[in-house]
Structure 1
């Protein structure tokens, strides 16, 4: 079977030197898995996004697709290039498939990169198996683009820290077993006074304020922390290190949002081409019209450019090259903006059929919109890209928020960065 016809897999693109054999093998196997397990996200969706998300997460874990989250199990799983390819393929298959995969990877990565051996041993094997779900809780209603304004407090008390405050727009808020929470501990002003914590969802004082319905149904909600006592061992990294944990994570995952955008856009392109071939008009096919050919060509150009920018960004990170954070922002802006245009063009080519509720074009139109907002909105990414021009990271310096003084950190994230 040619899985490229059903999974959006671009085997010619995989042959480019950005990828190695392990990436190609993994991509083909995941594409085959998606085709064989399409019942997990069959439409119309008869389960809540929370229940569907949990089932998809369990299936992904059981099949080994989250194995890279456990270094003891998969010490060399292909890096961010594999994550990006997975998001492209899963987003092509279904929004909820990509969402479950991406949020699990997002919430486990801080533990993978900054967690102690005890924290990694407690959470990563079960997150890799899909048994334990995670969330990354950083956003607040009054602190989205300004991460230095995080208001949730973590006061030192006998036996640990007492958390009080609210988090907003948290993906998997209602199904997460553990939350990675950014809170204010006050070691310094602004971003210098933040700390990351691992907070089990069953901890007394933690509750889901409400589930938040979105235009594209997903497990989403607000969290409350009321006199929530956590031990000192719950600190991820070290006190005052929360901004670095958050920024490191967001820089790595912005390009993966671009990868998901490529998956959505490829599905829209394929749907538009199929419609143009089948739709009869004026004694011929829709595809015979010159304006339609031009629209399809524009879609293909934007799609190819986006895929290349995402691959380049992931390659830069996997090779630890200077300036890789800039390329992650470039990939996110280019791919998400292009995907919005491609999906809109696909709806236009479908005509009235593209407006039917729960049709492929209509679902994609709702699903793709959020990508331009979370993990840093396009406008914020442009500021990051512009700031990087003319700056050359010095050897030996961390690439995490390099050369960014504390007074400038307010442009690094935006509302919804904790979604993905």
Structure 2
């Protein structure tokens, strides 16, 4: 199979997912409260076996799932994607004990996961995060003068206590975290080595009931749950580390490289829904003695919408296939796919609104809903400007390597 065609079984699966989203997931989404986790919807995703596929399928299957669900029910798509984003670090980098405790519940839809990377001062510049993981004073030791050579005089030494592993206290804030503050556990990225940039970040699995962890919801344009988290000396141990200490940025980038193309798939699903709605509207709407589609200005816009949507879909499939093939060019391809697809979806939905006129601005109209949903993907998981930076960096690195 190439990145430019799908097998009949894949096409049939996509059609089945669109039907499930429309008939079983959309009614549950309608009963949810905007800005809050819809646990009934997440549980249904689990019962349908879709959450389990987050950890058994490749990147292309993830993209097909997200596009198909987004076409018929953006809330279901987002609920599925957030489970994957929050739990993928546990699946890919967690210990056996961590996976055994959380992944069955995530798969069943009974535990809500969240990915806590962004901060008030470190959104696009994720390497600048400031949430501190400081040595617990009760478990901080001082080594010999020889061992202290090369260290600042006030830097604590993390030492395993006689009765257990080394411990840290998390202090600071996370912001714009999807599923916060209602998640059951968080993948949290904290600075364990000051001044070390991306090299001094550690990923922790933090259950929501840890003392000192509080949060609040944020009222955002997009209707899915987003909040802020406050860490007041939240205790974590070596058993909570995902991957290796000071190697957490690898966990973050490994997760984002997988999910960036699928953010593009989410965008393509919304674009296709807007395009199909526009085709139906312009074919049936009487205007100026004929149908809207008879106006060249309209038909050319519809053609442009279709062209951009298909181009974005192909780039998403190519990036996902590259990920599945373990291609070394994944960062560039993922960034390109996410950038093109999200910018395309913004254009397509906006054009669809224009061609529908005032009716598309009414609360409850499909395009009114898509117009609110489509804006955020151009920012989260790396804003469009960040994607351009990644693309340029990869291009110049390749040029220098020649």
CA distance in 1, matches of 2:70, 2:223: 14
Q: Name the SS of the counterpart of 1:49 in structure 2.
A: coil
- Evaluate the alpha carbon distance shift between residue 49 and residue 55 of structure 1 in structure 2; reply closer, same or farther with a 3 A threshold: farther
Equivalence for 2:16: 29
Equivalence for 2:373: 367
Alignment equivalent of 1:61, drawn from 23, 46, 49:
46
Alignment equivalent of 2:78, drawn from 92, 99, 102:
99
| Residue-pair matches, total | 372
CA distance in 1, matches of 2:2, 2:289: 40
Task: Give the CA deviation at 1:156.
Answer: 2.3
Q: Name the SS of the counterpart of 2:224 in structure 1.
A: coil
Q: Name the SS of the counterpart of 2:193 in structure 1.
A: coil
Task: Give the CA deviation at 1:358.
Answer: 2.2
CA distance in 1, matches of 2:296, 2:49: 46
Alignment equivalent of 1:183, drawn from 182, 185, 190:
190
Matches within 5 A, 1:245-260: 245-260=251-266
Alignment equivalent of 2:298, drawn from 283, 292, 316:
292
CA distance in 1, matches of 2:2, 2:286: 36
Task: Give the CA deviation at 1:163.
Answer: 0.9
In the superposition, the TM-score normalised over structure 2's length comes to 0.88
In the superposition, the TM-score normalised over structure 1's length comes to 0.84
Q: Name the SS of the counterpart of 1:223 in structure 2.
A: strand
CA distance in 1, matches of 2:8, 2:236: 44
1:386 maps to 2:392: yes
CA distance in 2, matches of 1:307, 1:198: 34
Task: Give the CA deviation at 1:16.
Answer: 7.0
Equivalence for 1:9: none
Q: Is the 8 A contact 2:51 2:108 kept in 1?
A: yes
- Evaluate the alpha carbon distance shift between residue 379 and residue 276 of structure 1 in structure 2; reply closer, same or farther with a 3 A threshold: same
Matches within 5 A, 1:182-261: 182-186=189-193, 189-208=196-215, 210-261=216-267
**Structure 1 segments (4+ residues) deviating >2 Å:** 14-29, 45-49, 156-159, 390-394
Equivalence for 2:122: 143
Task: Give the CA deviation at 1:323.
Answer: 0.5
1:47 maps to 2:18: no
1:120 maps to 2:99: yes
- Evaluate the alpha carbon distance shift between residue 271 and residue 69 of structure 1 in structure 2; reply closer, same or farther with a 3 A threshold: closer
Q: Name the SS of the counterpart of 2:183 in structure 1.
A: coil
Q: Name the SS of the counterpart of 1:203 in structure 2.
A: coil
Q: Is the 8 A contact 1:69 1:127 kept in 2?
A: no
- Structure with bigger gyration radius: 2
Q: Name the SS of the counterpart of 1:139 in structure 2.
A: coil
Alignment equivalent of 2:179, drawn from 164, 172, 176:
172
Task: Give the CA deviation at 1:187.
Answer: 7.4
The one-character-per-residue Cα deviations of 1:35-77 (angstroms, maximum 9, x if unpaired) are 32131223xx6634324x322111101110011245xxx4xx3
